[in-house]
Amino acid sequence: MEADNMAGGKEPRRLPVWACIPLFIVILFILLGLYGALARGCLSLIPGGVEACQPDVEARQPGVVGYIILEASMLLAVLTAALPMLRLERRPFSDLGLSLRGHVKGLWYGLLMAILLYLSGFGISLILGEIEVTGFQFEPLELLGSWVFFLLVALFEEILMRGYILGRLLHTTMNKFAALFVSAALFAFMHIFNPEIAFLPMLNLLLAGVLLGASYLYTRNLCFPVSLHLFWNWIQGPILGYQVSGNNFTTSVLTLRMPEENVLNGGAFGFEGSLICTVLMIVCTILIVWWGEKQEAISLAAPRSC
């Protein structure tokens, strides 16, 4: 049952969630194919640009530009798919949660949480001897390019999974935590073909979806999850030198060596494949939900004028 249709018939009747989400995904896949073909056409005009489609090739600057072009086409596709669906459902574009007004602090909180997660996770891994730093290099243009790329990744995945899918589920009578779990499961499934995927990385991707979506339950805004997603990936890969969900997109500031690939350091999948990551994400999710429930309780307890 749709929650929006329960207010005495005042709200216009809309497509049920079981129809609109699959329709949205079909439209998105069509547009991904179309825009992806156009992006690859652009890449063919860039010397070395085709390397962006070959993660095993050592990334150079044209490769970073290629990644940016491909990811920009995916972001354009999800926005283009969302527009007709929102119109069909008679919902404003603001329902995607992209507004900065009143939510700028969420950008800072996302950055802060990403830093704290990696200060803890990277520090624990170093202390336990699960990783070793063997090199250092600083390439500012490559670092800037990777930041832009991961910003596009964060925007695409957060608009898709939290802004549209989770947001749509929250407009139904489904329990909000059940809706969060469904969107997180879809988020994890989206990475099922990543290199080096296994049970623990899939579990952590599910937990990452819960972590990224938890704040959205209470704010209906993407500033915090986009910022956390961006800096999670950027710090993990281009700065610290881990694989990012099994992928190696660009060069990194630090060069890491793992004496042994295991569940404590994440092995070839990167930090997201580690038990340390599992524990940290559970703790952070609990803190976000505790904060959100506390804010809701304060809001409900506040006196309202007639």
Identify whether 303 is part of a domain: no
Residues 6+ apart with CB under 8 A from 62: 46, 47, 48, 49, 51, 52
- Tens of pLDDT, residues 136-178: 999 999 999 999 999 999 999 999 999 999 999 998 899 999 9
pLDDT classification of 118: cutoffs 50, 70, 90: very high
| Strand, helix or coil for residue 165 | helix
pLDDT, mean over the chain: 88
Examine residue 304 and state whether it is found in any structural domain, yes or no.
no
Express each pLDDT in 271-284 by its tens digit: 999 999 999 999 99
- The pLDDT assigned to 9 comes to 45
Q: Is residue 16 part of a domain?
A: yes
pLDDT tens-digit profile of 289-301?
999 999 887 777 6
Residue 181 belongs to a domain: yes
Of all residues in the chain, the percent with pLDDT exceeding 70 is 87
Q: What pLDDT shows up at residue 243? A: 93
**What's the number of domains the chain is made of?**
1
Read off the pLDDT band of 61 (50, 70, 90): very low
pTM: 0.89
302 lies in some domain: no
Q: Does residue 159 lie within any of the structural domains?
A: yes
Per-residue pLDDT tens digits for 224-279: 999 999 999 999 999 999 999 988 888 899 999 999 999 999 999 999 999 999 99
The backbone region for 303, taken as left when phi is positive above 0, alpha when psi lies in -120 to 50, beta otherwise, is beta
The CA distance from 292 to 219, in Å, is 8
Q: How confident is the model at residue 57 (pLDDT cuts 50, 70, 90)?
A: very low
Is 286 contained in some domain? yes
- What is the rounded CA–CA span in Å between residue 236 and residue 272? 9
Q: Is 47 exposed, middle or buried (0-12, 13-18, 19+ CB in 10 A)?
A: exposed
What is the extent of the structural domain holding 217?
A: 3-297
The beta strands (E) that lie in 41-155 are given as: 132-136
209 part of a folded domain: yes
Confidence of residue 120 (pLDDT cuts 50, 70, 90): very high
